[in-house]
Amino acid sequence: MTAEVETKFVVLTTNRSGSVWVMSTLNSLQNVTAQGELFLPRKRVTEKRWDSDFACPRYIETKSNGLNIRPFSIFSYLDNLYGTPGSVGFKLMYAQLGRYPEILAYFIRHRIRVVHLVRRNHLDVVLSYALKAKLGQAHLLSGQTAPEDLRVELDDDHLVRQLEWLQKKHSIARKLLKWSRLPQMEVAYEDLLRDQDRYFCLICNFLSIGLDANIPESKLVKIRRGGHRKVITNYNEVQEVLANSKFAGLLE
């Protein structure tokens, strides 16, 4: 009888990329523990979140068995995390890897598998940030709803610069992963939305996670309900700004 593979993995990404959806879906699979942002540099809040029932303490909330000196405290923390039975992973943002670069050394040493989650439409990322700020929360759980008339104005003066920076972050992450030679796969949020079963199956195959049934439905609720024209109050100005840029095709 073949022993079940217990994969150690990380989902490397940036904000507003659908990462909570991905992690919550993976966590709902049998014998899989998928944690959130364990290296977010602030303590957890008490309000209900998607991972409130099972989340382990963040790095900043623990002394990692009494070791306070980096990188040893980082290594000890990750040893404890990956020592959890089953397939185990967590979400790591680009900025958090920059803040704790020794994490990459640990990944290379232990051959941690990397799922690089990207969102191709950088305009949707900017829009998602704006909707989050307007609503006052990052995600909605099952049973919660966003206002029907939720609309936002984008900063068209700096929009192209924002989009260029988001594109640059993807490029830097890809180069770093290529240099690391870690086992890795890249998946786009847009592909997951378009064909959830296929692309979650690809992720599970990469992570050697067996599927006994269909991919479970997400318990998260989308905040944005309409297209760009419906949600962006200054749509015409945004269209004009993007018209002569390389990002013109991002606008619906």
Instruction: Residue 245: name the closest of 159, 153, 160 by CA.
Output: 160
Residue 191's contacts (CB-CB under 8 Å, 6 or more residues apart) are 199
- In this model, does residue 79 exceed pLDDT 50? yes
Model confidence pLDDT, tens digit, residues 143-170: 556 566 788 899 999 999 999 999 999 9
- What's the pTM value of the predicted model, to 2 decimals? 0.90
Instruction: Residue 138: name the closest of 80, 69, 220, 196 by CA.
Output: 220
Q: What residue ranges define each of the domains in the chain, with the CATH number in brackets? A: 8-250 (3.40.50)
Phi-psi region of 133 (alpha: psi -120 to 50; beta: other; left: phi over 0): alpha
Residue 100: pLDDT band with limits 50, 70, 90: very high
Residue 87's contacts (CB-CB under 8 Å, 6 or more residues apart) are 5, 6, 7, 8, 9, 31, 32, 33, 207, 208, 209
- In this model, does residue 81 exceed pLDDT 80? yes
Question: What is the pLDDT, as a whole number, of residue 1?
Answer: 36
Question: What is the pLDDT, as a whole number, of residue 4?
Answer: 64
Instruction: Residue 204: name the closest of 66, 14, 31, 19 by CA.
Output: 31
Mean pLDDT, rounded, for 173-198: 96
- In this model, does residue 131 exceed pLDDT 60? yes
Between CA 26 and CA 20 the distance in angstroms is: 10
Q: How far is CA 83 from CA 75, 95, 181, 210, 241, in A?
A: 12, 25, 23, 20, 50
Mean pLDDT, rounded, for 185-209: 94
User: Is 198:210 a contact under the CB 8 Å cutoff?
Assistant: no
Half-sphere exposure of residue 180: CA atoms within 13 angstroms, side-chain side = 24
Cis peptide before 85 (omega within 30 of 0): no
Between CA 95 and CA 15 the distance in angstroms is: 10
